[in-house]
């Protein structure tokens, strides 16, 4: 428990900053929608006239932008992006920092197994992720509801947030696994965010080019696209892949960290 | 009973040297010195004992238990002071000590107070604002607060002023009287000589010698200084057992190990003005180990 409390104290500041960031994103994003409502159908026409590649990059494909929830679907990509950056950096740092800051010589000479250290650090990370997710969920429901003109939106937003939570979990363990494997702790965060950006760019590339469709299983961003979640709900196949990936990466984190020569 | 048993411990780091075939035992209740120059493998050995890194081959036991397999269990009774102390930012001394104590299933509050009073450590300062010496004190308190049965110290005196060093040594001796075993790694011989019962000398990753401090000093090592009336051909002293020979005008000095009679016969062959035969310091014996193979 002591490690969980310590980690929560250590991550508190950055969590607050991230939450303020995501709040700003939701409020400012939906605020823009308020400015658009007057234009009626024209926004959809405008979007449809844009080159497809631009639409792909913005992720605006099949949303009805006259509806608040449709507009929120567009915004979701950016919220998910923030959530995953937060998760992957948290994962990489929470594991690598003991080596990076040379506190491993303090913590890992205590009567505690490395496995337990990872368990407690993952617990603290989960609390961080859940907080981030809840802040996004609540602020989204409040803001979208405001513009939804009586339409029920919390169900849809709930589904999107479940998707985002899987993305968060996935990238958290991407971060922890990389931090556990690599020998130079200082590079854990940069390599992890590199992986994140790569998968993100790949998901856009797939949107741009149908021939890359087969690669959609490599990038988690394709697993949880707002368009698909809003129209068809969460795909059980992608959920299964996510759960398998999370399990494997968690196992890699534990195994690699247990066997690792600490670099101090 | 041996508290630490190291057998054929080898740790290789890619190309660079780690330690090879290190073996020695530390007995219960002794203060054991572990000495060698920087980079000889002292920290590598200690980190392997604490399973911060794992051996390439060989094994080590503490309290009769394998250090890798039973690491968490063993560590309940180990106190460790690393050569450089690094702690979490933004923590007060007392918070860190409480955090440290929270890993042991006992109440350490009294001990924290006691130790910080002895070392004159202000518990309410922020760690990042502390000087090197004060950080070291935090390390000492942190290493001793759970009353460990084995204390492992890696170059513990750096940063402490002589007065504090004295207090720290007194503290260690007091612990030792209670039956605590201490492994004391250092490259400063005088402190090892002063504190330790036995010593292991490590050089380039290999143990050169394990001996009692007293034996090491008595082991027929004598320091000779001879003043002659006329200039002498120093080759007269080029015999087995003579080391570190130094010649300055009419004085010759060297360390001798072997049959004292044979060297005295040599000396009697020449006309001498003055003669000193002294116990060499550990430093001088130590230099002997390091120069031997050059």
Structurally, chain A folds into a number of domains equal to 1
Domain boundary residue, one of B159, B181, B216: B216
pLDDT grade for B90, boundaries at 50, 70 and 90 = confident
Mutate to test the interface with B, among A109, A113, A258, A263 (most CBs of B within 10 A): A109
Radius of gyration of chain B (CA): 23
Torsion of CA A169, A172, A173, A174, to 10 degrees: 120
> Where does the pLDDT of residue A209 fall: very low under 50, low under 70, confident under 90, or very high at 90 and above?
confident
Does residue B64 sit in the same domain as residue B167? yes
CA angle B22, B24, B30 (to 5 degrees): 145
Phi-psi map region of B90: left, alpha, beta (phi>0 left; psi -120 to 50 alpha): left
| pLDDT-based confidence at residue A116 (cuts at 50, 70, 90) | very high
Closest of B44, B37, B51, B39 to residue B21, by C-alpha: B44
pLDDT of residue B249: 77
- Element of type H or E holding B207: strand B206-212
Q: What is the pLDDT of residue B181?
A: 97
More confident residue, A151 or A23: A23
Q: Is a pLDDT exceeding 70 seen at residue B129?
A: yes
More reliable by pLDDT, B175 or B16: B175
Q: Is pLDDT of B159 > 70?
A: yes
Q: Which helix (H) or strand (E) holds B213?
A: helix B213-218
- Using the Cβ of A13 and the Cβ atoms of chain B, whether some distance falls under 8 Å is answered with no
Q: Give domain status of residue A264, yes or no.
A: no
Beta carbons of A110 and B103 less than 8 Å apart: yes
Give the pLDDT of residue B294.
Answer: 44
Range B209-231 average pLDDT:
80
How far apart are the C-alpha atoms of B97 and A235, rounded to whole Å? 50
List of chain A residues whose C-beta atoms are within 8 Å of the C-beta of residue B84:
102
Asked if A145 and A154 touch (Cβ cutoff 8 Å), the reply is yes
Task: Report whether B195 contacts B180 (CB < 8 A).
Answer: no
Same domain, B198 and B249: no
List the single residue in A6, A111, A261 with the smallest CB-CB distance to B72: A111
Report yes or no: B138 and B93 within 8 Å, Cβ to Cβ: yes
Q: Is the CB of B103 less than 8 angstroms away from the CB of A112?
A: yes
| pLDDT at B214 exceeding the cut of 90 | no
More confident residue, A31 or B72: B72
Q: CA B43, B49, B55, B61 torsion: positive or negative?
A: positive
More confident position, B6 or A148: B6
CA distance A254 to chain B (A): 15
The domain of B78 spans 2-216
Whether A104 contacts chain B with CB within 8 A: yes
Residue A88 is assigned to a structural domain of this protein: yes
* Mean pLDDT confidence for B49-71: 95
Inter-chain CB proximity B99 and A103 less than 8 Å: no
Nearest to A221 by CA among A105, A82, A13: A82
Does pLDDT of B292 surpass 60?
Answer: no
Domain assignment present for residue A36? The answer is: yes
User: Could you tell me the residue range of the domain that residue A110 belongs to?
Assistant: 2-259
CB B31 within 8 A of CB B192: no
Asked if A14 reaches chain B (Cβ–Cβ under 8 Å), the answer is no
Q: Give start and end residues of each alpha helix (H) in B18-92.
A: 42-49, 71-75
Number of domains chain B contains = 2
Could you read off the pLDDT of B17-32 as tens digits, one per residue?
Answer: 789 999 999 999 999 9
Q: CB contact, 8 Å: B47 with chain A?
A: yes
Q: pLDDT digits over B186-195, tens only?
A: 888 778 888 9
CB contact under 8 A, A108 and B50: yes
Higher pLDDT, B289 or A65: A65
Using an 8 Å Cβ cutoff, are B128 and B89 in contact? yes
> Does the beta carbon of A239 lie under 8 angstroms from any beta carbon of chain B?
no
* Co-location of B56 and B132 in the same domain: yes
pLDDT confidence bin for B234, thresholds 50/70/90: low
Task: Give a yes or no: residue A52 inside a domain.
Answer: yes
Search chain A and give the residue with CA nearest B49: A109
**Which two three-digit tokens encode residue B87?**
């702690």
- Quickly tell me which residue has 């350490």 as its tokens: B108
Flag whether A81 is in a domain: yes
- How distant is the Cα of B14 from the closest Cα of chain A, in angstroms? 12
Which distant-in-sequence residues (6+ apart) come within 8 Å of A86 by Cβ? A18, A128, A129, A132, A168
> Both B187 and B233 in a single domain?
no
The pLDDT mean for chain A works out to 91
**Least confident stretch, A109-118, B170-179, B222-231:** B222-231
Burial B169-196 (b: 16+ CB within 10 A, else e): beebeebbeeebbbbbbbbebebbbebb
Q: Are B196 and B281 found together in one domain?
A: no
Digit-coded pLDDT (tens) for A23-80: 999 999 888 887 776 666 677 777 777 777 777 776 666 677 778 888 898 899 999 9
Look at A215-224, A226-235, B75-84, B220-229 and tell me which has the smallest mean pLDDT: B220-229
CA gap A238, B112 in Å, rounded = 53
Please give the share of chain A, as a percent, with pLDDT higher than 70. Answer: 95
- Give the residue with greater pLDDT, B68 vs B250: B68
CATH of the domain at B264: 3.30.70
Task: Identify whether residues B148 and B229 lie together within a single domain.
Answer: no
The residue among A209, A232, A236, A206 whose CA lies nearest residue A219 is A206
Residues β-bridged to residue A234: none
Helix (H/G/I), strand (E/B), else coil: B258: coil
Lowest mean pLDDT among A33-37, A156-160, A222-226, B260-264: A33-37
Element (H, E) at B177: helix B162-177
């Amino acid at each position: 428990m002591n490690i969980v409390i310590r980690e929560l104290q250590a991550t508190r500041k950055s969590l607050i900053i991230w939450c303020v960031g995501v709040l700003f994103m939701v409020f400012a994003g939906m605020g823009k929608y308020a400015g658009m409502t007057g234009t009626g159908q024209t926004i959809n026409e405008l979007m449809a006239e844009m080159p497809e590649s631009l639409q792909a990059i913005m992720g605006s494909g099949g949303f009805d932008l006259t509806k608040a929830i449709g507009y929120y679907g567009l915004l979701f990509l950016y919220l998910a992006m923030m959530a995953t950056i937060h998760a992957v950096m948290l994962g990489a740092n929470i594991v690598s920092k003991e080596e990076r800051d040379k506190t491993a010589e303090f913590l890992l000479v205590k009567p505690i197994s490395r496995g337990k250290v990872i368990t407690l650090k993952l617990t603290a990370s989960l609390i961080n992720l859940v907080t981030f997710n809840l802040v996004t969920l609540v602020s989204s429901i409040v803001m979208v509801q405001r513009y939804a003109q009586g339409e029920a939106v919390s169900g849809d937003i709930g589904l999107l947030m479940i998707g985002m939570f899987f993305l968060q979990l996935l990238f958290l363990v991407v971060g922890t696994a990389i931090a556990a494997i690599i020998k130079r702790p200082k590079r854990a965060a940069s390599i992890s965010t590199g992986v994140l950006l790569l998968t993100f760019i790949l998901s856009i590339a797939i949107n741009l080019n149908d021939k890359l469709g087969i690669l959609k299983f490599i990038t988690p961003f394709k697993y949880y696209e707002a368009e698909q979640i809003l129209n068809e709900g969460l795909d059980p196949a992608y959920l299964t892949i996510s759960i398998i990936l999370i399990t494997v990466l968690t196992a890699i984190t534990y195994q690699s960290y247990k066997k690792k020569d600490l670099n101090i | 009973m041996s508290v630490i048993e190291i057998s054929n411990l080898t740790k290789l780091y890619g190309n660079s040297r780690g330690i090879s075939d290190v073996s020695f035992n530390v007995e219960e209740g002794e203060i054991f010195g572990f000495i060698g120059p920087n980079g000889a493998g002292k920290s590598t050995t200690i980190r392997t004992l604490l399973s911060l890194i794992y051996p390439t081959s060989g094994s080590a036991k503490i309290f009769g238990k394998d250090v890798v397999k039973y690491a968490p269990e063993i560590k309940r009774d180990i106190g460790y002071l690393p050569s450089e102390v690094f702690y979490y930012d933004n923590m007060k001394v007392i918070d860190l000590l409480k955090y440290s104590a929270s890993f042991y299933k006992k109440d350490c509050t009294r001990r924290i107070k006691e130790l910080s009073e002895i070392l004159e450590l202000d518990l309410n300062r922020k760690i990042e604002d502390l000087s090197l010496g004060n950080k070291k004190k935090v390390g000492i308190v942190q290493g001793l607060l759970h009353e460990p049965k084995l204390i492992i110290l890696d170059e513990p005196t750096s940063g402490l002023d002589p007065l504090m060093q004295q207090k720290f040594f007194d503290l260690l001796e007091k612990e030792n009287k209670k039956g605590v075993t201490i492994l004391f790694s250092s490259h400063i011989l005088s402190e090892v000589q002063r504190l330790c019962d036995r010593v292991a000398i490590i050089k380039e990753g290999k143990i050169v010698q394990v001996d009692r401090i007293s034996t090491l000093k008595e082991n027929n090592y004598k320091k000779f200084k001879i003043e002659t009336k006329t200039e002498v051909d120093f080759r007269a002293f080029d015999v087995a057992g003579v080391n570190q020979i130094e010649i300055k005008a009419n004085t010759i000095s060297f360390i001798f190990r072997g049959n004292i009679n044979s060297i005295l016969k040599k000396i009697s062959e020449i006309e001498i003005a003055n003669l000193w035969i002294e116990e060499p310091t550990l430093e001088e014996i130590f230099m002997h180990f390091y120069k031997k193979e050059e």
